[in-house]
Chains A and B, each alone.
Chain A
Amino acid sequence: MSKPETKPLAQIRNFAIIAHIDHGKSTLADRLIQTCGGLEEREMSEQVLDNTDIERERGITIKAQTVRLAYTAKDGIEYQFNLMDTPGHVDFSYEVSRSLASCEGSLLVVDASQGVEAQTLANVYQALDNDHEIVPVINKIDLPAADPEKVKAEVEDVIGLDCSDAIEASAKTGAGIEELLEKIVTILPPPKEGDADAPTKALLVDSWYDAYLGVVVLVRVIDGYLRKDQKIQFMSNKAVRIIDRVGMFTPKKVELDALGPGEMGFITASIKDISETNVGDTITDEKKPCESALPGFKPSIPMVFCSLYPADAGDFEKLRDSLGKIRLNDASMHYEMESSQALGLGFRCGFLGLLHMEIIQERLEREFDLDLIPTAPSVVYKVNLTNGEQIELYNPVDLPDVVKIESIEEPWIKATILVPDEYLGGLLQLCQDRRGVQIDLTYAGGRAMLVYRLPLNEVVFDFYDRLKSISKGYASFDYELDGYGENDLVKLEIRVNEEPVDALAMIVHRSNAESRGRGMCERLKDLIPRQMFKIAIQAAIGGKIIARENVSALRKDVTAKCYGGDITRKKKLLEKQKKGKAKMRQYGNVEIPQSAFIAALKMGDE
């Protein structure tokens, strides 16, 4: 077979754009695409790489994106750039690490008016772990508040990155973009290895489901070629497929004959289900396989769990289908059917983090038009039983009887918070209240850098919102998981007329149990409408009642006037009430509308 014509390694640059959220990654990518002529002026929309509505609306990139650009440098040579825009949020740091593994360099975008933030740090460290060459880009120099010199000093100071080659740019006005393109050629390295004659070896960077093409696989070729009609094998599961399309994004989808060493692009191979395509897998030739697989990635593990119930029980099947469709594109989301006495049939779902959870709930509601009842988010506990066994607890309801429990371990995180001095006190208090353990407190460029160990459980509630409100939005936050630790954890149970409400059960630290329990009882008291019988609401730990409230019995509810003209209207109301009873749950002799529990769950923690 003749060798396809692909770029020599020396003319390829694969790089990622990394930054704290909103520092301008996507806008910079737009500018690079535009300058290299990837899209005509009229085709440019803002943040062309953010594909989904939610990405555009929230201004966040969720999926890593790649584009190939052709750039003719001052040396007269045309280079091939493969650019990746990466997600900026902690929840998706796993996607970031994957993207970084397929490149040799990074553009580190730092907002010239904001400076280094928590995710700047987290991303830089990941890039350095992947041996990246890094070009700092001090962006948004057009802003009046921009102070590029100060920010450069901060980058040198806090990160320890040499800024003599840093570029001052504005992704908005285009200032500095020419210079940046040259620096990409001169400073970032070409792919290190790559043997055109060796057996095919390619990294599976990502995959997603496309309604027309089936599963689209994003690849980075190491050795050899990927060509149309080639029979390939996925090394992890030995699956064999025939490539039916090879191509690249410019960002338009363009088909090619082949992808060669060092190049990035996509293939399709009549794959129906993304679960067949394991991210980090090695793709090779079926007949002439390579000797060893690439090191691959750790699989992503869901850290935050919550249950999702359809508000209308009739939507259960629709919810199941919708979760299935989302999972087609997002293998990091897990779900399993469960049933709750209070809320009916639903799913226990696992997410990478809180934002991931929110985004999926939003997609279910918007794209799939579902009305959902989410339960309070929870984490995965490890429960050591007296018989020596250890179980993983995904739902507080499943906690075994206290007498069978030796101890409970909860996941911890190491959090890095950057915050202007004036808000430091408030944040220290917040971390303290959330059972945090201080590890480090340093100053850099007028800001404090706080490192804390915190139980993840305390963060999943509303830590991020509190952090933002205490610091008026100026604090930034990032975290990594930091093992499990034993603690004095208890199951807080809410009972209505002596019967536990499963959806409201939670695991809390003993020191917080009473205030949480009292808060929940008070909330329910306001939410449960008066009924013919008195309703007792209690919070309990083990068998012990720690808080109680009563909803007193209704004394009068009768329509004063009911004549011939009123019958139809009143009957409709009664029919509605009668139907509504299907959504009621029986607790002792009272029926509580599901909506009361939903509201209690929605009111959050405060």
Chain B
Amino acid sequence: MNNKGRLGLYIHWPFCLSKCPYCDFNVHVRSAIDYGRWQDAYLKSLDYYATIMPERLLGSIYFGGGTPSTMPPELVGAIIDKARSIWPCSNDVEITLEANPTSIEMEKFEAFKAVGVNRVSIGVQALNDKDLKFLGRAHSADEALKAIDIAKGVFEKFSFDLIYARPDQTLEEWRTELEQAKQLAGGHLSLYQLTIERNTPFYYSHQQDIFSLPNEDLAADFYGLTQDVLDDALPAYEVSNHAAEGHESQHNLNYWYNGEYVGIGPGAHGRIWQDGVKCATRDHHAPDAWLERVEGQGHGAHPYQQLGQDDLAMEALMMGLRLREGLSLKHLAEQSGGDWAAYIDEAKLKTVINEGWAVQKEEALTLTREGLLRLNAILPYILTTEGPHRKTAR
């Protein structure tokens, strides 16, 4: 089900029509945007990566945000054309665009398709107006249904996102909503439990007890119910991502496989190989500063940070264990320079296995459903305190 070894390209579009109270993405609301200037900047950045990263096979492009569905289709098209001119790609290249289900945006679906987008991910978030209002969304449930309907007709692949475990939501309400989502879905769903992020409006109202979230036990039940409802048709292939066989997001899988990807746009991150060393890239966060940087130096990135084997091993563990197929131990061995046992305390791993939270088969370490639920606790638990601390990978 994968595109291993191919390059991913992430394009960050940092603008939204309004800001949702739970969201901590790098998002700005602007009344006027100089699209020409932005286009030049994206294309210029791509030129830069063309020089330092020739000879890659492009596996996916992902327009994320922000709200990329507010981009002019011509701008999206120009970026796609440029990328394709730099890196060869096969027919199955996945080109996703995140879309908000408001009427203006769904009307553009055809146009996006015409410039090369072949998959949309729609931010539906809830299927009832009361919760949409609570979440501060600018669209209604009806609009969302319509957007899904249009997407179905236009794209061969599409997905939508829901946020659940909302304040006062009951398990029964969620079951009903989820059953509906299952019917509406194409081959892919992203289902996120509502997370309170620091410095968002929700963070402050939650602190002031204006609303409260389901407690830990109920949240666990929400998660379990979600798996029960979807296991037959749309099983989770990652903690929060569900897909029918063959519909997994290639772009996101590349993150979880610790693949190579270029990140362009304010605040975008990348992981690229340079001279045999894997490097972390990070573009300047502020939109205007990013533009100026690109215009000045040809790209918007801060100096790269070389990743050592410790970093690679940690990233492999953090990301790989999120997958249903688990973490390939061969992959971990490659990342850690062979001695992955130096990173994982075997006695503790045994305890985790005995508790029924993980399964170790020769080629993979896989978390069970109960294990996935505890991932953030299991990771620090099984990690040894002293890794080998090598400076950089070979």
Contacts and interface: CB of A to CB of B under 8 A. Distances in A.
B240 A560 contact: yes
Interface stretch (A301-309, A312-320, A508-516, A567-575): A567-575
Given A561-B195, A563-B255, A578-B380, A571 B216 contact: no
Nearest to A561: B192
A558 to B, nearest CB: 4
Contact of A568 (B252, B269, B351): B269
A562 B239 contact: yes
Nearest to A529: B377
Contact of B282 (A559, A568, A577, A582): A568
A579 B380 CA distance: 9
A557 interface: yes
Contacts of B351: 589
Given A557-B376, A557-B377, A581-B380, A567 B319 contact: yes
Interface string B1-20: 00000001010000000000
B379 A565 contact: no
A337 interface: no
A532 interface: yes
Contact of B195 (A532, A560, A589): A560
A555 interface: yes
Given A560-B239, A563-B255, A564-B263, A555 B373 contact: yes
A530 interface: yes
A531 interface: yes
B240 A568 contact: no
A535 to B, nearest CB: 13
Given A555-B373, A556-B219, A560-B240, A565 B268 contact: yes
Contacts of B269: 564-565, 567-568
B347 to A, nearest CB: 10
Contacts of B144: none
B315 A558 contact: no
Nearest to B240: A560
Nearest to B372: A558
A567 B278 CA distance: 14
A562 B219 contact: no
Contacts of A571: 311, 314-315, 318
Contact of B318 (A531, A532, A570, A582): A570
A554 interface: yes
A589 B350 CA distance: 12
Contact of A556 (B195, B223, B240): B223
A580 B385 CA distance: 9
Contacts of A589: 351
A420 B304 CA distance: 72
Nearest to A584: B385
Contacts of A530: 216
B391 to A, nearest CB: 15
B112 interface: no
A164 to B, nearest CB: 67
Contacts of A554: 216, 374, 377
B381 interface: yes
B242 interface: no
Given A530-B216, A564-B10, A565-B269, A557 B375 contact: yes
A557 B217 CA distance: 10
A158 to B, nearest CB: 55
A570 B268 CA distance: 15
Contacts of A559: 195, 239, 375-376
A36 B93 CA distance: 95
A564 B62 CA distance: 11
Contacts of B379: 574, 577
A562 B376 CA distance: 12
A533 to B, nearest CB: 8
A555 B8 CA distance: 35
A583 to B, nearest CB: 10
A365 to B, nearest CB: 28
A556 B165 CA distance: 13
Contact of A560 (B193, B252, B261): B193
Contacts of A555: 216-217, 220, 373-374
Contacts of A581: 380, 383, 385
Contacts of A565: 10, 263, 267-269
B157 interface: no
B255 A558 contact: no
A493 B239 CA distance: 43
A556 B374 contact: yes
A35 to B, nearest CB: 59
Contacts of A560: 192-193, 195, 239-240
Nearest to B163: A560
Contacts of A531: 377
B166 interface: no
A556 B240 CA distance: 14
A570 B271 CA distance: 15
B322 A562 contact: yes
B271 A575 contact: no
A564 B374 contact: no
B287 interface: no
B71 interface: no
Contacts of B375: 557-559
Contacts of B184: none
Contacts of B195: 559-561
B393 interface: no
Given A558-B374, A560-B240, A574 B193 contact: no
A490 to B, nearest CB: 36
A203 to B, nearest CB: 57
B181 interface: no
B378 interface: yes
Contacts of B8: 564
A419 to B, nearest CB: 43
A45 to B, nearest CB: 45
Contacts of B318: 562, 567, 570-571, 574
Interface in B350-394: 351, 355, 372-381, 383, 385
Identify the 10 closest CB pairs spanning chains A and B, nearest first.
A577-B380, A556-B220, A560-B192, A555-B220, A557-B376, A558-B375, A565-B269, A564-B255, A556-B373, A557-B377
7 contacts: A530-B216, A557-B376, A560-B195, A561-B195, A578-B385, A580-B380, A589-B351
Interface of A: 530-532, 554-565, 567-568, 570-571, 574-575, 577-582, 589, 591
